Chains A and B, each alone.
Chain A
């Protein structure tokens, strides 16, 4: 069966510090991968998606970036965090156009 992992679970970072969130999927090959952000009490905002290694599409211009160095690894990064980057970050995977499955999420607080 497939499993998706995200870490860390929670993170508190000062403004201007760098960020690296990691997501890995087990039990499937060549999945589509996605990063979402959810502000407190709000809906889901798609940030990036990837259909293959090294292929990243950005949905929202911001100071975040994403990379996919391996087939089942998806990384969300920032060089300098802003207060507005606080939120709940969710990674998801899908395969061949079917439903997306979500990881446990990372709760990021920028202070």
Chain B
């Protein structure tokens, strides 16, 4: 069975601070996908990144960066110089190559509050 754990249910930072959101996953698949989504107060989930299990390169996109460590089954997300607009719930998710419906297993989410 697959499982995604986001141990931090809520994080509060002051604007311009860096913040890291943790994600730990469990799977028996040898190949899989990992994702991060952002859910702003409007409610719609916004896709941020997909990472394949065979590609352990870290990725940076502007103020966002992702650290994938297969050895520790973690896929952490760092926001540098946080802004108020980053306030949202962030979900980490795990997908399998093997299931016909390409279903995702989501973590419970981390609510990030960035205060001015």
| Residues of A participating in the B interface, judged by any CB pair closer than 8 Å | 32, 34, 42-44, 46, 49-51, 57, 59, 88, 90, 92, 94, 96-105, 107
Contacts and interface: CB of A to CB of B under 8 A. Distances in A.
B106 A44 contact: yes
Contacts of A97: 33, 95, 97, 102
Contacts of A107: 43
Contacts of B33: 97, 99
| Consensus secondary structure, chain B interface | loop
Contacts of A90: 43-45
B101 interface: yes
B35 interface: yes
Nearest to B49: A99
A32 B99 CA distance: 12
B43 A88 contact: yes
Contacts of A102: 37, 44-47
A94 B100 CA distance: 12
A43 B91 contact: yes
A27 to B, nearest CB: 16
Contacts of B100: 51
A50 B107 CA distance: 22
A34 B109 CA distance: 19
B3 interface: no
A104 B44 CA distance: 5
Q: Which of B37, B44, B106 has the most CB of A within 10 A?
A: B44
A104 B39 CA distance: 10
B75 to A, nearest CB: 14
Contacts of B104: 46, 100
Contact of B44 (A43, A49, A50, A103): A103
B103 interface: yes
